[in-house]
Amino acid sequence: AQTVTQSQPEMSVQEAETVTLSCTYDTSENNYYLFWYKQPPSRQMILVIRQEAYKQQNATENRFSVNFQKAAKSFSLKISDSQLGDTAMYFCAFMKHYSGGGADGLTFGKGTHLIIQP
């Protein structure tokens, strides 16, 4: 079974600062996918970024980037030029690659509540 650990229950930064959220995971799988999701107070789960484990290049999406260290099983999220709208709960999630016709669900960390102060 996989486990995902987010060690920062809450973080607070000033608007326009850069913030890094940490995530570590444990798995015996070699082929898998990692995700960061944002959940604002509306509770809509919004995909921020997705990383394929077989790709060494770190994924980026505009102000969001990850630092993926496969050997260390670490997958941190960096948010640059933080904005008030970035205030939300952020979940790190793991999904193993499923061969054949199956599919796997996401295993989530407990989340980090990020607050962007004006």
Minimum distance from residue 25 beta carbon to other proteins (Å): 13
Q: Cα separations (Å) of 79 from 41, 69, 97, 99?
A: 19, 17, 27, 33
Residue 80 or 96 with smaller CB distance to other proteins: 96
Q: Is 86 exposed, middle or buried (0-12, 13-18, 19+ CB in 10 A)?
A: buried
Among 17, 110, 115, 117, binds other proteins (CB under 8 A): 110
Candidates 13-21, 58-66, 69-77, 89-97: pick the segment binding other proteins (CB under 8 A).
89-97
Q: CA nearest 24: which of 60, 80, 66?
A: 66
Assess 95 for contact with other proteins (CB under 8 A): yes
Query: Rounded CA gap, 21 and 86, in Å?
Result: 13
Residues between 31 and 50 with contacts to other proteins, criterion CB under 8 A:
33, 35, 37, 42-47, 50
Assess 71 for contact with other proteins (CB under 8 A): no
Q: Tally the C-alpha atoms within 13 A of residue 54's C-alpha that lie toward its C-beta.
A: 6
Residue 9 or 118 with smaller CB distance to other proteins: 9
Residue for token pair 């904005």: 83
Contact set with other proteins (CB under 8 A): 33, 35, 37, 42-47, 50, 52, 91, 95, 97-99, 101-111
